[in-house]
Amino acid sequence: MGRLQIDHIQPLAKGGVNTEENLCLACELCNQYKWIQTEGLDPESGKVISLFNPRNQNWGDHFTWSPEGTKIVGITDCGRATVEALRLNNNLAVIVRKNWVQAGWHPPNFRDY
Ligand SMILES: [Zn+2]
């Protein structure tokens, strides 16, 4: 939520570089939660897993929307670890998505990815 920021997928603090392949857009809140994390805990297996990389992984392979369209559900270890690490279902995000659902804007069509 909020303005989009440029995120380093591999943080500069961990040897990441300023090339396009290492950059993505993230909302301010997600970017703050991500911080310098590159891995997260999969709550199902308890294993430490690399976070979702929007440059070389497909969103729909790792996530789906809850039936009411307000929560992101991880469907792989990577998806679940990323939902937890970036707190993708934080209260603000869910409230905003509820409004988007009511307005008919959400969830987005998976064919758009
Ligand atoms: Zn976000």
- Could you tell me the CA-to-CA distances from 40 to 1, 45, 103 in Å, in that order? 21, 12, 33
Question: Ligand 1 centre from 26 Cα, in Å?
Answer: 6
Does residue 10 have a pLDDT over 70? yes
Question: Ligand 1 centre from 42 Cα, in Å?
Answer: 19
> Over the chain, what is the mean pLDDT?
93
- Cβ pair 27, 2 in contact under 8 A: yes
Question: Ligand 1 centre from 46 Cα, in Å?
Answer: 24
Question: Ligand 1 centre from 34 Cα, in Å?
Answer: 10
Question: Ligand 1 centre from 27 Cα, in Å?
Answer: 4
Q: What is the rounded distance in angstroms from the CA atom of residue 69 to the CA atom of residue 66?
A: 5
- Length of the chain counted residue by residue: 113
pLDDT tens-digit series, residues 28-69: 989 999 999 999 999 999 999 999 999 999 999 999 999 999
Question: Ligand 1 centre from 102 Cα, in Å?
Answer: 19
Domain boundaries, the chain: 4-107
Q: What is the rounded distance in angstroms from the CA atom of residue 65 to the CA atom of residue 75?
A: 10
Question: Ligand 1 centre from 30 Cα, in Å?
Answer: 4
DSSP-assigned letters across all residues of the chain: --SEEEEESS-GGGT--SSGGGEEEEEHHHHHHHTT--EEE-TTT--EEEPP-TTTS-HHHHEEE-TTSSSEEE-SHHHHHHHHHTTTT-HHHHHHHHHHHHHT--SPPGGG-
> Percentage of the chain surpassing pLDDT 70?
96
Instruction: Give pLDDT, residue 110.
Output: 58
Question: Ligand 1 centre from 55 Cα, in Å?
Answer: 16
